[in-house]
Amino acid sequence: MWVFCRELYKKRISLQVDADFNYEPIDNIESSDTYVCRFTLKKPVELKNFISLDQFKQSKRKDIEKFYQSDYRIDIDETDLNEVVTGEDEEDTDDEAVTEDNSVTPEHEKFFKEIKQLKASSSTKYVHRRIKNIFSYELYIYNKELNIGYYIAYIE
Asked whether residue 65 is assigned to any structural domain, the reply reads: yes
Cβ contact 134:99 at 8 Å: no
Three-state DSSP state, 142? strand
Give pLDDT tens digits for 94-122: 444 444 544 567 877 888 899 999 999 99
3-state secondary structure 74-107: CCCCHHHHHHHHHCCCHHHCCCCCCCCCCCCCHH
| Residue numbers of the domain that contains 91 | 6-154
Give pLDDT tens digits for 119-132: 999 999 999 998 87
Cα separation, 40 vs 99, in Å, equals 25
Q: In total, how many domains does the chain have? A: 1
Asked whether residue 1 is assigned to any structural domain, the reply reads: no
| pLDDT above 80: residue 76 | no
Provide the pLDDT for residue 29: 66
Asked whether residue 146 is assigned to any structural domain, the reply reads: yes
pTM, entire model: 0.76
Three-state DSSP state, 126? strand
Cα separation, 72 vs 139, in Å, equals 14
How does DSSP classify residue 133?
A: S
Cβ contact 44:144 at 8 Å: yes
Asked whether residue 51 is assigned to any structural domain, the reply reads: yes
